[in-house]
Amino acid sequence: MDWQDILFKFVGGLGIFLFGIKYMSDGLQKSAGDKMRGLLEKYTSNPVLGVLVGVGVTILIQSSSGTTVMAIGLVNAGLMTLKQAIGVIMGANIGTTMTAFIVGIKIEEYALPIIAVGAFFLFFFNKKKFQYIGQVVFGFGTLFLGLSTMGSGVKPLSELPAFTDFMIQLQDQPLLALIVGTVFTMIVQSSSATIGILQTIADEGMISLKGSLPILFGDNIGTTITAVLASIGATVAAKRTALVHVIFNVIGAIIFMILLVPVHSLVLWLGEGVNIRMQIAYAHGIFNTTNALIFLPLIPALAWLVTKVIPGKMQEIEFKAIYLDERLLATPAVAFGQAQHEILRMGQYARETLNDASTFFFSRESRVGELALQKEELINELNRKITDYMVKIQQQNGLPEGESEKASGWFQLVNDIERIGDHAENIVELSEFSINKKVEFSEEAGRELKEMLTLADKAVERALAALEHNDVTAAQEVLDYERELDEMEVKFRKSHIQRLNQNLCTGNSGAVYLDILSNLERVGDHSKNIAQFVMHEEQT
């Protein structure tokens, strides 16, 4: 027996299979744009919708782990509630069964022509749309090529007594089979891959359907490791979300292990006349769908349980406009008042993003940087929603002339607030560059940046206070702060040049330092615009 040939074909086939899934998934994601995250953010208002969205997104990206990690990211930023995330995770588990059904089709002999079609689209079309289609088709063909390679690699093992004895042992000891499935998936970190391998081994006649089922249930437990790893160092809410994923799959596996005999009979009945690969796909679908139906009414209880197991305060941010009601557009004056509330809310998030960016620069904690970027995404979303709403208000022509001018002024302020968020995002990206390139700053440079960041935060805080309370005194303070920021930038630039001349700073650190100064000076300018608007309104 040629062990090298077996090992190379199995490992290489697994690599090709994983590449096929990833490449197909990337193509699907690109062709769908940013719709997956948008679906998760917008259409998970109730558990049933959450399940359906989880199914849809996972079918689109072909990765339940990807959907679950995405949900954890949204919960981590407070952009999705725990109950919403539970529904999405249930749906993700159902959606991931699509890969098993694809593998069950058994079209390995057509793998190379499919790859050729994909390559044709990739290399002979310039339009992105066709290239994405090519990527999906190429990945689809590669997936089957990997399966075929793995199958030819493991086939000789059927003649090895030690291997066949182990397979028989797994069939006689379901608990051992469950553990094998769990551990293997934890190592590979892809239930789609391990279930694909299981389908291949079963197709070669090395294991029966009954022996495959406990391994399949173990694969579903093992896939939770990705969510657990994603929650390390994250917020309390994200850890609770990961724990829900573990509880959901572990309890489901226990239930199905107890009902192993009737489940086996059900799969045989449903899969009569189809190949064993498709029968395993049926079992996978039954497991996740039944599990979701069992736990759907228990979502509040699950949320309560994980809250008790992982105590702590969690931050919740609604990733949507909470004051903009389309029904109020019939009364433009009231609608304008609501828009003002939303603009102020957007401003608070802009200030929080700036503070998070500042904290990230000094602490270098990736979680804080991610939070800043997620809040900046929220600011962009609010910018779009508020702009659309304000346009609709002005189209109503129901505001008096003076109020209409005022509304136009507030309309402009949205851009200033959005730009503050953009400058905060720039600081996060500059901080990431510093971390990746191991850029070090002198003690004096760090002190100067902290001083300017603190002043920029004061300018934003007073600008928002002036806007909310129509406070001219606060607005005047902003103008003073803005002048001070301008002076600081000039002064600190000169200090930086002196440090460069004295070799106290490197070129990389100097470039980052100057870019941050520039961004903070621009934050002051946008704060000044807000203050000047308040002063102008008071004078008129």
Tens digit of each residue's pLDDT (9 = 90 or more) over 420-461: 999 999 999 999 988 888 878 888 888 999 999 999 999 999
Taking the C-alpha atoms of residue 14 and residue 190, their distance in angstroms, rounded to an integer, is 11
C-alpha R_g of the chain: 28
Its pTM surpasses 0.75: no
pLDDT over 90, % of the chain:
25
Q: For residue 194, what are its two tokens?
A: 């391990």
Query: Most confidently modeled of 152-156, 332-336, 395-399?
Result: 332-336
Taking the C-alpha atoms of residue 76 and residue 185, their distance in angstroms, rounded to an integer, is 25
Residue 507: how many other CB atoms lie within 10 Å: 9
Q: What is the pLDDT of residue 474?
A: 93
Q: Using the 8-state DSSP alphabet, how is residue 344 labeled?
A: H
Handedness of CA 67, 70, 76, 78 (dihedral sign): negative
Q: Which of the pair, 328 or 62, is modelled with greater confidence?
A: 328
Q: Using the 8-state DSSP alphabet, how is residue 442 labeled?
A: -
Structural domains of the chain, ranges and CATH numbers in brackets: 3-309 (no CATH), 326-539 (1.20.58.220)
Question: How confident is the model over 461-519, as pLDDT tens digits?
Answer: 999 999 999 999 999 999 999 999 999 999 988 887 887 777 766 666 778 888 999 99
Mean pLDDT, residues 289-310 taken together:
86
Q: Which of the pair, 473 or 299, is modelled with greater confidence?
A: 473
Mean pLDDT, residues 151-173 taken together:
71
Cβ-based burial of 251 (10 A; exposed 0-12, middle 13-18, buried ≥19): middle
Q: What is the pLDDT of residue 394?
A: 81
Taking the C-alpha atoms of residue 129 and residue 379, their distance in angstroms, rounded to an integer, is 29
One-letter-per-residue 3-state SS of 156-183: HHHHCHHHHHHHHHHHHCHHHHHHHHHH
Q: What is the pLDDT of residue 475?
A: 93
Residue whose C-alpha is closest to residue 439's, from 383, 387, 516: 516
For residue 415, what is the enclosing H or E element? helix 401-436
Mean pLDDT, residues 238-259 taken together:
87
One-letter-per-residue 3-state SS of 92-134: HHHHCHHHHHHHCCCCHHHHHHHHHHHHHHHHHCCCHHHHHHH
